Amino acid sequence: MARRVGSSAGSARAISGGRHRQGGGAPLRVELGPRLPGKVAFITGAGMGMGREASLLFAAHGARIVVADINAEAAQETVELMRKAGGEAHAVLGDVAVEADVKRMIATGVQAFGALHILYNNAGVLWKDRDRSVLETDEAQWDRVVAINLKSVVWVTKHGIPHLRKAGGGSIINVGSVSALAGFTRAQDAYTSAKGALISLTKSLAIQFAKDNIRCNIIHPGIVETPMQAPYLTEALRKEFQAGIPLGRIAHPREIASVALFLASDESSFMTGAEVVVDGGFTAQ
């Protein structure tokens, strides 16, 4: 059984019977145990949103979490939530776009927990009010958005991979976006470009480090209910999004975290260089 960590983290359990049946009519029986026992995960942007949700879920499955964020209060809150629920977490503060900060945060995390097995490159910014069409972009804006969403992954992997190698392998999970898969009339060109480049970086890392038993995959979420979207989600826009998504709703952060858990765990042991779209069917239309 997995330990229960966090208010919304469910416990794993054996399921038998139910409506789903295997071909021969035998009851489906799935033994679910903790997916990440003994693992240490470095999660960027773990102070809020999907990063916090993944921290709670990974901890429920036995991982110890290095909570990396630029927001000290948010990071501490995530750590407290995990500790209250019996998980182990350590906050490291810094800007993921700055190499020296990332180097220090990774070193501190390894010092706290002795190893590193999972790098979850989740931190990102979506400034819909400032990041629009190339026609409106200025250099400072472009550089900052691309640094946080793309360059951060370079620093985390540069300084994290030596520890994954030392551990005999590991899993890197990058967070892209459906914005990288299609063009939209409401443009966010710096964000879109950064997320698009992450697809190429994901494949390059997957191929370079496969021989080290290090896998690297990317998740493309559709729209997810997090503090990132909150300032922009008017009732009218929410309705518009819901109407455009075949499953008829915006995702809960848990629905992305559970895919990240799968990619972090040995259940996805033959997956590397893959793109996993989690968008309620939006880009399948």
Ligand X SMILES: NC(=O)c1ccc[n+]([C@@H]2O[C@H](COP(=O)([O-])OP(=O)(O)OC[C@H]3O[C@@H](n4cnc5c(N)ncnc54)[C@H](O)[C@@H]3O)[C@@H](O)[C@H]2O)c1
198 binds ligand X (CB under 6 A): no
The reply to whether 255 sits near ligand X by the rule CB under 6 A is no
Q: Binding segment for ligand X among 26-34, 39-47, 81-89, 232-240 (CB under 6 A)? A: 39-47
Candidates 11, 71, 269, 283: give the one binding ligand X (CB under 6 A).
71
Pick out residues in 93-122 that bind ligand X (CB under 6 A).
Answer: 95-97, 122
Q: How far is the CB of 26 from ligand X (least distance, A)?
A: 39
From candidates 141, 213, 229, 242, binder to ligand X by CB under 6 A? 229
Burial 51-62 (b: 16+ CB within 10 A, else e): bbbbbbbbbbbb
Catalytic residue among 113, 191, 209, 282: 191
**E strand or H helix at 103, and its extent?**
helix 99-113
Cα–Cα separations (whole angstroms), residue 224 to 152, 161, 171, 227, 254:
21, 29, 23, 9, 9
Beta bridge partners of 109: none
Taking CB under 6 A as the criterion, the residue among 206, 228, 257, 264 binding ligand X is: 228
* CB closer to ligand X out of 40 and 97: 97
Tokens of 141: 């804006």
Element (H, E) at 217: strand 214-221
- Out of 6, 109, 124, 280, name the contact with ligand X by CB under 6 A: 124
Instruction: Look up residue 146 and give its two tokens.
Output: 């691309």
Helix boundaries (H) for 114-220: 139-146, 152-166, 189-209
- Look up 232 and say whether it is catalytic: no
Residue 160 binding ligand X, by CB under 6 A: no
DSSP SS3 for 56 = helix
CA 46, chain centre distance (Å): 9
Q: Which residues are catalytic?
A: 191
Residues in contact with ligand X by CB under 6 A are: 44-45, 47-51, 69-71, 74, 95-97, 122-126, 148, 175, 177, 221, 223-224, 226-229
